[in-house]
Amino acid sequence: MGPSVVVKNLSAKYIGSDTWTVRAVDLQVNKGEMVVIMGPSGCGKTTLFRILAGLVPSLIPGTVEGEVTVEGVDVVRAGYKQLVGVVGLVYQNPEMQVITRSVLEELAMGPENLGLSREEIQKRIDWVTHVLNLYDLLDKDPQSLSGGEKQLIAIASVLTIKPKVLLLDEPTSMLDHRGTRLVLEAINQLKKEGLTILVAEHRVEWAVEAADRVAVMGRGTILLEGKPEEIFSRVEDIQRYGVRPPGIAEVAYELRKKGIDVPIPVKLEDSWKLGVGSK
């Protein structure tokens, strides 16, 4: 499986600003991989996503330097209008992404605007309904749905444009636990469908289970990058970078501070390494 997203030495700043929001970022995501990006606000992850989605500089003016290729397309030169079927971006706030009075309209909106045939539109709606299990929601008014359900519909509406790469910018930060579960399960399901996924998320304890790789960003650049086990066990480093380590790693770290030699697990199933629970 070759590379899907290739970012080389990317730097970007918005118009009228002297600060570089993104600085010298190198990142590669392979097809079918899920990469979770973590970092405090202002670390540049939203800007990175906007560039990957072709919104900067074509819709939001700014300076972009470096190379960004998504599925072979130079996104900076192409602009978001050429990225139909390449990239989709889901935002944080479910309230602002649901704009019609019927779920069916919501799902059909993208393909309708693209001028696709009615048969093709129906086919895509059927596919997304099946993948995300939206059968019970189809005939409802989106305004009456819960936050999590709205976010699910938002994801589905982006999927009907059939992107190969899905970007989700903090999709659960405005949701309650029920909604979070719904959305995270949907993301897990989409991974199984073979989509390449980049998620900006702060829920470390989910990322350790779901992510293939994790990148920690800070002040516009990538500070750490690698597999969850490698990254999240570096308790002091990630704390310094504004990321909360998984609870189990914090406990292991405390044990080590008391002189007890234990490894630093990141998943709960490895709690036996600390003498808690069984293998």
Partner 1 sequence: MIVFDKVSFNYGDKGFEIKDLSVEIGRGEFIGVIGHSGAGKTTFAKLAVGLLKPISGRVLVDGMDTKTTPVSDLARKVGFVHQNPELMIFSSTILDEVGFALRNLGYPEIRIKDAVGRVLESVDLIKPLNFPPHALSFGEKHRLAIASVLVMEPDVLILDEPTTGLDYGRCLQLFRVLENLHRNGKSVVVITHDLDLLGMFAKRIIVFEKGKIIRDGSTEEVLTDISFLEEKGFIPTQLQRLANMLGVKKLTPQEIAEQIIKKKRI
Partner 2 sequence: MLSGLYIERRSFFHSLDPRAKLVWALLVLAASIVTQFNGFKSFPIFVSTIVALILSGIGAGLAAILIFNSLIFLLITTLVWAGMYSNQGNMVLDLWIIKVTDVGLLVASGKFFLIMSPVFAFITFFVTTKPYHVSWTLEKFRVPPKLSTAFVIAVSLLPTMVKATRDVIDVQRLRGLALDKGSIPERLRKYIPIIVPVISRLLSDVWDLSMVLASRYVGYSKKRTYLLEPKWVKRDTLFLLFSIIFYGVILLWGLL
Reading the block at residue 200, the tokens are 């900006």
Distance between CA atoms of residues 97 and 100, nearest Å: 9
Q: Minimum CB separation from partner 1 for residue 77, in Å?
A: 32
97 touches partner 2 (CB under 8 A): yes
**What is d(CA 186, CA 233) in angstroms, rounded to the nearest whole number?**
27
| Among partner 1, partner 2, none, partner that 247 touches (CB below 5 to 8 angstroms by kind) | partner 1
Q: 275 touches which of partner 2, partner 1, none (CB within 5 to 8 A by kind)? A: partner 1
Out of partner 1, partner 2, none, what residue 88 binds, judged by CB under 5 to 8 A for its kind, is partner 2
73 binds partner 2 (CB under 8 A): no
Q: Is 99 in the site for partner 2 (CB under 8 A)?
A: yes
Q: Does 16 contact partner 1 by CB under 8 A?
A: no
Q: Among residue numbers 212 through 271, which ones bind partner 1 (CB under 8 A)?
A: 242-244, 246-248, 250-251, 253-255, 258, 260, 262, 268, 271
| Residues within window 108-137 making contact with partner 2, judged by CB under 8 A | 108-118, 121-122
Kindly write down the DSSP assignment for every residue of the chain, as one continuous string. --EEEEEEEEEEEETT--S-SEEEEEEEEETT-EEEEE--TTSSHHHHHHHHTT-TTTTS-EEEEEEEEETTEEHHHH-GGGGTTTEEEE-S-HHHH--SSSHHHHHHHHHHHTT--HHHHHHHHHHHHHHHT-TTTTTS-GGGS-HHHHHHHHHHHHHTT--SEEEEESTTTT--HHHHHHHHHHHHHHHHTT-EEEEE---HHHHHHH-SEEEEEETTEEEEEE-HHHHHT-HHHHHHTT-PPPHHHHHHHHHHHTT-------SGGGGGGGTSS--
127-146 residues near partner 1, rule: CB under 8 A? 146
* Residue 100 in the binding site for partner 2 (CB under 8 A): yes
10 binds, among partner 2, partner 1, none (CB under 5 to 8 A by kind): none
Q: Which stretch binds partner 2 (CB under 8 A): 28-36, 82-90, 180-188, 245-253?
A: 82-90
Interacting partner of 260 out of partner 2, partner 1, none (Cβ under 5 to 8 A depending on kind): partner 1
151 binds partner 1 (CB under 8 A): no
Q: Which residues bind partner 1 (CB under 8 A)?
A: 39-42, 92, 146-147, 173-181, 202, 205, 242-244, 246-248, 250-251, 253-255, 258, 260, 262, 268, 271, 274-277
